[in-house]
Amino acid sequence: MKRIYLNLKRFDVPRVFDGINGIASVGDWSAYIVSSIQEKLKEPDFREADFVIYFPELHILPAIRALTEKSPVRIGCQGIYCEDTSANGNFGAFTTGRTASAMVAAGCWEVLIGHCEERRAIEQILAQAGVEKEETVNLTVNRVMNQEIRCALRRGMRVLYCIGEKEGEQKRWKQVLERQLELGLAGVDTSRVVIAYEPIWSIGPGKIPADKEYITKVACFVKEKTDGMEVVYGGGLKKDNAAMLASIPEIDGGLIALTRFQGEIGFYPEEYLEIVRYYLGEKETVI
């Protein structure tokens, strides 16, 4: 079974406010996306995969309401707070904190944790506090990720845990990834956790994408260190790399964000379906 994740980050911002959502009005775009793809994903071509979409918090409820009976799509949130509510304990005094309990109450059973953007946000807070020692920063960030994963699992959620090395960390990528795995998954039941590998150094305009050899060696390393946990490519599953990624036995799926990178950049449901079909249909093709 292949796992296809879709992270609609920043799609709650329309183009008029400098965002990249140009496919529907703010009030109904999440429902439009779910409605546009869920029936198509029931077709035989897509039966070898399962599908999760991570929505910004404001749009989770419309997306969930748009789900049809036996929809192949599951709805997830883009993160949770590192603490949660508890009976006879904290009733939820985490202003702006997106707790696991709140997301589950909304009907959301999937969560994305450890994305490079989330890690960078915590690093920036530590920098403002004058924390500069790299080991201290990494230790703190990964411990927070571990707390979030534990909160999610206690509430019955499934987790996509992102790991990856930055440009200055490439020469010691094994050490960096091993640390993220050991600290982030410490004491965790990994049966409901999938690993997403993000080569941060290769993501973004002007960057050279990670090639098959590099992705394969990292995926093999992660599986070795985690006793065979599922590993998906988190650096962007696209039409251009779908066949290559499908040809790597150690890669169990991918994470999609943008579908178009030129012209009116953004996410378009028909292009999403094309990427998924290309990935599932070209497993033996090597680029």
The residues, ordered by sequence, that sit 6+ positions from 17 with a Cβ below 8 Å of its Cβ are none
* Integer Cα distance of 49 and 278 in angstroms: 13
What's the 3-state SS for the chain?
CEEEEEECCCCCCEHHHCCCECCCCCCCHHHHHHHHHCCHHHCHHHCCEEEEEEECHHHHHHHHHHCCCCCCEEEEECCCCCCCCCCCCCCCCCCCCCCHHHHHHCCCCEEEECCHHHHHHHHHHHHHCCCCCHHHHHHHHHHHHHHHHHHHHHCCCEEEEEECCCHHHHHHHHHHHHHHHHHHCCCCCHHHEEEEECCHHHCCCCCCCCCHHHHHHHHHHHHHHCCCCCEEECCCCCHHHHHHHHCCCCCCEEEECCCECCCCCECCHHHHHHHHHHHHHCCCCCC
Of the residues 110, 118, 165, 198, only one is catalytic, namely 198
Residue 115 a catalytic site member: yes
* Integer Cα distance of 280 and 11 in angstroms: 26
Residue 59 a catalytic site member: no
Of the residues 115, 148, 165, 230, only one is catalytic, namely 115
Measured CA to CA in angstroms, residue 77 lies from 61, 128, 269 at distances of 11, 27, 19
- Active-site residues, by number, are 115, 198
